[in-house]
Amino acid sequence: MLVFDDLAVPRAGSSTARRLFGEYLRFVARRLLTLRDTGPELGAVTAFVGERLTKTPGLVLSVLRRPTVSTLVRLIEPGSDPGWQRELAALLWLELALEGEYPPREITTRCPAVLCALGAGKAFATPGELVVGPRGVVSSLDELDAYHPIADGVVLATLDNSPLSSREAHPTKAGSRVDLGGAPAAEWVAGFREALSLLREHVPELAGEMRLGVSQIVPVGRLADRHESASYAEAVGTIYATVHPDPLVLAEALIHEHSHGKLNALSALSPVLEPSEGRFDSPLRPDPRPLGGVLLAAHALVAMAELYRQMRQAGDPRALAPRAERRLTQLVAQARDASETLHRHARPTAWGQGLLAELRRWSESC
């Protein structure tokens, strides 16, 4: 069992996120191998992946790290959409082939009209089937303009293959479909580059974690009165966000959703809280939430507040402005409230004890 006691705000030199995401990738690999008999398309490719895992594990795990692949692995189960199975099989053959891992015989699989090869930073229009052989990709594929590099291995993705993007649990939102909001991709890229630069300057450990935990940012429009971001439990590595002119707002969004990604990865490995009944006030939602939702909020709020604290300590004028002072006060109060709710009502599992202890320490130190 791994102990996570600096998951919200990593210590200098921390290896917590690296260990966590490494365990998560191994979890995804194990789950993929259980899909061997889910559908005919997955039998051959899961057998090939299992064989390559023994010979080139790092390369295979790097393919499984891509949320375009891992999200489908997490979602597919007996009875799920056969199209997801075909897409996953095609993506695995394609991504592995683009990395130089070719099957011993020619493989033909039906596939969607578009395949998102995030590892290569390319999307391709397909003829409806993918053919891969011992010498590489046989099918004629047309490259699409879908991925725009931001920094540190993170891209702006203007195509999204996740089946989750149309789902929405938040009562005031309506899903996370791709929408550039009338702005050119370059404007989005510039904004998130500035946000990541701010994180590297003031919370470098968190920024370093994002190289492991964030692969793509999907644009979901522009809002006149607010900024929104989202992530999904099964789509670790993908952040959905609206555009905003203030890089500090975008930096908050990155921390917020990256924090959710860490907790989602941990929760995939093991429950963090013992089962409980009832719903509780959450600082980030208008509707009462189960304690797991309160934990998601507290974990993100602590990290977001830490950004402002570090900026203030460094004398960054952006954090000394009245709006930023008010925002820090709000974040600290919200984090304390959520932490207190957890302290009173939550029962952590062995996997969650270090995390709740960290939140409590941070709350008491403010």
Please give the DSSP secondary-structure letter assigned to residue 11: P
Q: ∠ at Cα 280 (336, 249), nearest 5°?
A: 50
pLDDT for res 51: 96
Three-class secondary structure of residue 307 per DSSP = helix
| Per-residue pLDDT tens over the stretch 175-207 | 678 999 999 999 999 999 999 999 999 999 999
Instruction: Label residue 340 exposed, middle or buried (CB < 10 Å: 0-12, 13-18, 19+).
Output: middle
CA–chain centroid gap for 90, Å, is: 22
Nearest CA to 332 among 352, 353, 303?
Answer: 303
Q: How far apart are CA 35 and CA 261, in angstroms?
A: 24
Q: How far apart are CA 257 and CA 228, in angstroms?
A: 11
Residue 11 — φ and ψ, nearest 5°?
Answer: -70, 165
pLDDT for res 170: 46
Task: Collect all residues with Cβ–Cβ distance below 8 Å to 25 and sequence separation of at least 6.
Answer: 61, 64, 65
Q: How far apart are CA 258 and CA 156, in angstroms?
A: 15
Q: How far apart are CA 336 and CA 298, in angstroms?
A: 8
Residue type, 199: L
Q: How far apart are CA 301 and CA 153, in angstroms?
A: 25
Assigned token pair, 267: 């929760």
Using alpha carbons, list the distances in angstroms from residue 291 to 318, 352, 359.
34, 13, 14
pLDDT for res 284: 77
Assigned token pair, 306: 């830490």
First to last CA, the chain: 30
Residues of the chain with pLDDT under 70: 1, 166-175
Domain regions of the chain by residue span:
16-144, 149-365
